[in-house]
Amino acid sequence: MPTTNTNSHDPAGHGHGARDTSDGSNESTALLPSFLRGEIAHEGESGRRGFHPRHFIAVSYKSSNIVSQYVNFLWPFVPLAIIFRYALPSHPLWIFGLAYVGMIPSANLLGFAGQEFAKKMPKVAGTLIETTFGSIVEIILFVVLIVKHREPVEGEDGGNGDEGNLIPIIQAAILGSILTNLLLCLGLCFFVGGLRKTTQKFHAAISETGNGLLLVAAFGLLIPSAFYSALKGERTITKSSLGFIVADAKFTPETLQSDILKISQVTSVVLILAFGCYLLFNARSQHSVFHEVIETDEHGDMDREEDQARMRYTGTETTVALIISLVFATLLLIYLVEQIEAVVESGVPDQFLGLILLPLVEKAAEHLTAIDEAYDGVINVALYHCLGPSIQTALFNGPLVVIVGWILHKPMDLNFEIFMIVLVVLGILVVGNFLRDGESNWLEGVLLVIVYVIIAIASWYYPNPDVATSNGIEGLAASTGSKNVTIDRALLQDLLAMANLNT
């Protein structure tokens, strides 16, 4: 008898709507555009429908790997943080600590649910979606921070808490997220992968594309800072013969700050467009290449049989897990942001908080996933989970918070501290040098982690922005040894004329 399978090589393209079910998929309707469609991996199917509480709890507990399973023991910190927030509001450090630890299992559940959802999608689309879910926590954090931000009122001490200036912390968190992924997460991936295999090789399609995009993103983030640094000391400060520090009336510090804000807003729009091109490139132009790389990696997974035997969420259970994790993550992030002022006043520097502490917890799920994949020998997927979130932070998440600030009329810009932007550029160059040969080993991983530790130490001793503003308005006075006085040109000419008469 002739075979009944008429869809696997449909020349008219109708097979996209009703794909061959020989791979275990029972999908009959395309969920994605034609260029995102492909075979759905059978390991993404649970074989059940609906919501089953006992099964849901069992799958959530076992998660995707043994480390994630141990992380689930931290769930009691979530209700404790909520209880302390409302029952003991006078203990901000306890609330911050409990919420910080509680964020780890919440992010872990979000990451695992994202993985389960991605497994029900085509290979490349699934990886992109999984990376996006891993960055949702970061987007929520940035939005909460910018909403809570308040411009210091004249006559008050400018703080950096929930009632003060949070923009320096947001800026540090943007760059800290990139550094954490590139140095700490990638370093740990190289290290644990090198423990099982002497040398791990990865595909140039992922490493070269990722590193190139990061350089472009770093260039876009650097421009506003470079623009400000170049002009703040050249055109805004002049010194008269009377000893006055005079700001050019046509180019005052306020004008410069306004220009920086406009440059940041337009640059953010351009960077988001670049991120759209990156997604299109992965999903369409290089879809077959990325699909082949990911497929080859998964077949070489050392724990492939064990992973295939794991219980899976149903579609409904995946949705419930995503909602639960997002609700808890959002609540805990709000609690964290509310206590930032108390944490800073306790002695934790702003730069350390934004550059190190916040990125560690916001990307916990992504880091656990990448490290597990590297340990299983799936180095290309692990590399993608390190470079992908860094690219998304630089091209989308960071610019997005600038646009949100624009909408809310809050002066969020990309005028980073020179200290931090130099760290990011150097970090990208170091990682690019290690990726150049297409191989990794445990020593390279250790070196990347050491670089990250050095940065963490330096950020701990770096003064808060209100003390050391190497790239801020206050730096103008520091560079001249006195405070700026803006004088009208006509008045200045009169003063100079009087000085000439006296001489």
* Side chain identity, residue 237: I
Q: Which amino acid is at 412?
A: M
Q: 3-class DSSP state for residue 122?
A: strand
**pLDDT for res 30:** 37
What is the predicted pLDDT for the residue at 449?
95
Whole-angstrom CA distances from 92 to 89, 137, 341 are: 6, 22, 9
Find all residues with CB under 8 Å of 167, minimum gap 6, and list them: 146, 149, 410, 411, 412, 413
The H-or-E segment that residue 200 falls in is strand 200-201
**Residue 498: what pLDDT?**
62
DSSP state string for 52-116: -HHHHHHHHHH-SSHHHHHHGGGTTHHHHHHHHHHH-TT-HHHHHHHHHHHHHHHHHHHHHHHHH
pLDDT of residue 378: 83
| pLDDT at res. 129 | 72
Q: What's the pLDDT score for residue 476? A: 43
Q: At what angle do helices 379-392 and 287-299 cross, to 10 degrees?
A: 130
Q: Please tell me the predicted confidence (pLDDT) of residue 68.
A: 79
| Lookup result for tokens 């540090």 | 172
Rounded distance between C-alpha atoms, residue 336 and residue 330, angstroms: 10
pLDDT at 40: 44
C-alpha dihedral (180, 449, 168, 136), degrees to nearest 10:
10
Radius of gyration of the chain (CA): 26
Provide the pairing of β-strand 200-201 with 238-239.
Answer: unpaired
User: What are the residue ranges of helices labelled H in 353-397?
Assistant: 358-362, 364-375, 379-392
As a whole number of angstroms, the distance between CA 391 and CA 173 comes to 14
Per residue of the chain (503 residues), give pLDDT as tens. 444 444 444 444 444 443 344 444 443 333 344 434 444 445 555 556 677 788 888 888 877 677 778 888 999 999 999 999 999 999 999 999 999 999 999 988 888 888 787 777 666 666 667 667 778 889 999 999 999 888 766 555 444 444 568 899 999 999 999 999 999 999 999 999 898 888 888 877 777 777 888 888 888 888 888 888 888 755 444 555 555 555 554 567 778 888 999 999 999 999 999 988 888 877 775 555 566 666 666 655 556 566 666 777 887 888 899 899 999 999 999 999 999 989 988 889 888 999 999 999 888 877 887 888 888 888 888 888 888 888 889 999 999 999 999 999 999 999 998 888 889 989 998 998 888 888 888 999 999 999 999 999 999 998 876 543 445 444 444 444 444 445 555 655 665 666 565 55
Q: Distance between CA 94 and CA 73 in Å, rounded?
A: 19
Integer Cα distance of 199 and 374 in angstroms = 12
- pTM flag (> 0.75): yes
Return the SS3 of 441.
coil
Place of tokens 């206050």: 474
Reference 333, options 150, 60, 85; nearest CA is 85
Give the residue among 315, 375, 323 at the shortest CA–CA distance from 68. 375
pLDDT for the residue 175: 93
Tell me if 354 sits within 8 A of 172, measured CB to CB: yes
What's the pLDDT at 308?
60
